[in-house]
């Protein structure tokens, strides 16, 4: 498998991770308002909380996401340019022509993480597995 293809696979996974974190929170809030029970699923909610926690911790530590590092390294090995900064910063720049200092991203990630934690506490996941989970699990 070529380095470029591996970089593309990591890039797709990275994009799906972002969709999971951002879209997942949107679905949690919509589920709270609409009374959807699946948005209180323990596995989904815990994975979502862990995902944003990882993002916020990385940013506070001043580290690039490992997916960004791996993808950039593979792109360099394939003879292509990698990202100048982080994955999100690159795509915001490319898609929205938005550039900001790192502290802005730290603030945005932290505030988003606070929303996730607040919704986790105010609209908590189920305390026990559902009957479907027990039957199928």
pLDDT in tens, 13-56: 888 998 999 999 999 999 999 999 999 999 999 999 999 999 99
DSSP secondary structure letters along 38-84: GGG-HHHHHHHHHHHHHHHHHHHTT---HHHHHHHHHHHHTTS---S
Each domain of the chain, given as residue ranges in start order, spans: 3-136
Mean pLDDT of 114-132: 86
pLDDT in tens, 83-112: 666 666 566 556 544 567 888 889 999 999
Is 133 a residue whose pLDDT tops 70?
Answer: no
pTM: 0.77
- Answer yes or no: are the C-beta atoms of 76 and 7 closer than 8 Å: no
Mark 4-23 as b/e (b = at least 16 C-beta within 10 Å).
Answer: eebbeebbeebeebbebbee
What local confidence, expressed as pLDDT, does residue 87 receive?
61
3-state secondary structure of 37: coil
Is 71 a residue whose pLDDT tops 90?
Answer: no
What local confidence, expressed as pLDDT, does residue 82 receive?
63
Exposed / middle / buried, residue 83 (Cβ in 10 Å: 0-12, 13-18, 19+): buried
Please name which of 59, 57, 39, 11 lies closest in space to residue 122, comparing C-alpha atoms: 39
């Amino acid at each position: 498998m070529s380095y470029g293809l591996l970089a593309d696979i990591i890039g797709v996974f990275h994009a799906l991770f972002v969709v999971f974190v951002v879209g997942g929170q949107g679905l949690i809030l919509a589920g709270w308002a609409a009374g959807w029970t699946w948005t209180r699923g323990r596995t989904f909610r815990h994975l979502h909380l862990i995902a944003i926690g990882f993002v916020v911790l990385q940013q506070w530590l001043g580290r690039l996401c490992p997916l960004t590092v791996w993808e950039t390294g593979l792109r360099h090995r394939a003879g292509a340019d990698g990202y100048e900064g982080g994955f999100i910063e690159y795509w915001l720049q490319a898609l929205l022509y938005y550039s900001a200092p790192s502290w802005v991203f730290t603030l945005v990630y932290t505030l988003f993480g606070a929303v996730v934690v607040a919704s986790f506490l105010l609209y908590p996941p189920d305390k026990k597995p559902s009957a479907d989970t027990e039957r199928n699990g």
